[in-house]
Structure 1
Amino acid sequence: MFRLIGSIPVLGALLKIANTYAYGGDYRASEEFAGLALWIKRFAVPLMLALVLTLCTVWPIIPHAVKSHELSFSHATDFVQKPGVFISSVLPSLLGFGIGVYALIFGLAEPFVRQFRKLIDEQIKAGEISHGSVLMLNSDLAFPLIVMVVGIAVGALQQANLENQSLILITWVMFWYSLIVMIEMISVIFRLAENSLLDKGLNGDENTKAVSDVTQGD
């Protein structure tokens, strides 16, 4: 089933990236589903948070929707009714930033990548984690980009179907979910930068000590 869906253009690419993201970059992600438990663990909390933020955004229409048992944005502000315009103005800039960072990942120092791979292998052997690989760096950066691309596409559809009430709600969910995964992406960048700086700092200390030893020897 996984290979069948994976062979479908566009949908297959989305599935493989999302599955690798859920699998923590595990090598098996290209051959099998990560499993429902891993998907729930990876996606449930961000999606729930996106739903909560969406409800906060469209809150003015909630009382009317509860009373009339009908979803209608006719009583909402123009801003709330047209999330497609907002999402199309915000996400492209974030997408450009993300693609730039994603390209820089290939410039990571080789020793750091080896160290990261060693850490993952040690955690798997120790039973701390049951899956994962150094490829999680790739999936943790690629998945937010895919989410933003889908968000832009949903925003465009919403602008083309302004009267579709459900699409308005979905667009707001996609907007907030895109921001959430962007924050996760920044978190990954932060950890990478932190480790890189610490690694350089340690090397710097070693170089300083070496220079000091040579000076004392003279």
Structure 2
Amino acid sequence: MAKQKPSLMHRTLTSTPVLGAVFAIANAYAQRGAPQAQIHIASLSQWWSRIFKKAFCVLVFVLMLDFITDESIATSTWIPADTILGAFPSILGFGIGVYALMFIMPSDFLTFLREKKSEGSPIGPEIVPVDMGYPLITYVLVMLIASICKVFPDTIWLKIASYWALFYGLAMTIELVSFLFLTSKMIQK
């Protein structure tokens, strides 16, 4: 059987400097690590269920915060970009360390995941790199947004973006910790 080539759109997106790597990781995450992620762009429903839905919920959360607080995001003296740039490098470092540890996991665990996958489980060994990689790339993007917000501190939509970035990054941290917790429970079994 001949090996399929990536579509032109997929090749174009993944070959774009810097953003291509972000797209490749997000696309693989949207497809739960399926091998097709290397040649096909995930469907809109996959992107929605794995990425856009969370991003949208965080945006709604930020807008609700703005609505229920006395001080508007526009006039707030708190700068989420400072919090992001103070905390997220450490969170990223922790995540990279844990990601590296995942590479030295016992082969028995990966064999266990393969066996469960063959029994019909939706989780297989292909999910490990994407469920670790996507939050890590998210932390980098969150710090990028915070850095841009520091350059243009009085731009209202960037202020909203920094609030969103902070809470989206925290949501991804919860997702990463949840993944690690569930993985450790599987290892214990």
TM bin, normalised by shorter chain, reads: 0.7 to 0.9
Change beyond 3 A, Cα 1:93–1:63:
closer
State the alpha-carbon separation in 2 of the partners of residues 189 and 121 from structure 1: 22
How many equivalent residue pairs? Answer: 181
The residue that corresponds to 1:29 in the other structure is: 37
**Letter paired with 1:101:** V
The residue that corresponds to 1:189 in the other structure is: 180
Secondary structure at the counterpart of residue 25 of structure 1: coil
State the alpha-carbon separation in 2 of the partners of residues 13 and 153 from structure 1: 15
Q: Is the 8 A contact 2:116 2:124 kept in 1?
A: no
The alpha carbon displacement at 1:62 in A equals 9.1
* 1:174 and 2:182 matched: no
Cα deviation, 1:127-153, whole Å, max 9, x if unaligned, reads x75xx7522110000100100101001
State the alpha-carbon separation in 2 of the partners of residues 53 and 94 from structure 1: 22
Out of 14, 18, 26, the position equivalent to 1:18 is 26
The residue that corresponds to 2:14 in the other structure is: 6
**Letter paired with 1:55:** L
Report runs of 4+ in structure 1 exceeding 4 Å deviation.
60-64
Cα deviation, 1:42-78, whole Å, max 9, x if unaligned, reads 12331132113312443368998xxxxxxx81xx231
State the alpha-carbon separation in 1 of the partners of residues 18 and 41 from structure 2: 17
The alpha carbon displacement at 1:179 in A equals 0.7
Cα deviation, 1:93-127, whole Å, max 9, x if unaligned, reads 1111111111110111101101102222332xxxx
CA RMSD of aligned residues (A): 2.1
The alpha carbon displacement at 1:197 in A equals 1.5
State the alpha-carbon separation in 2 of the partners of residues 174 and 31 from structure 1: 29
The residue that corresponds to 1:216 in the other structure is: none
State the alpha-carbon separation in 2 of the partners of residues 191 and 95 from structure 1: 20
* 1:117 and 2:125 matched: no
**Letter paired with 2:128:** L
The residue that corresponds to 1:103 in the other structure is: 100
State the alpha-carbon separation in 2 of the partners of residues 63 and 57 from structure 1: 10
The residue that corresponds to 2:51 in the other structure is: 43
The residue that corresponds to 1:212 in the other structure is: none
State the alpha-carbon separation in 2 of the partners of residues 166 and 62 from structure 1: 19
Gaps of 5+ in 1: 65-71, 199-218
The answer to which structure has the higher helix fraction is: 1
The alpha carbon displacement at 1:92 in A equals 1.2
Gaps of 5+ in 2: 1-8
Q: Is the 8 A contact 1:26 1:133 kept in 2?
A: no
Identical residues among aligned pairs (%) = 29
* 1:135-214 to 2 correspondences below 5 Å: 135-198=126-189
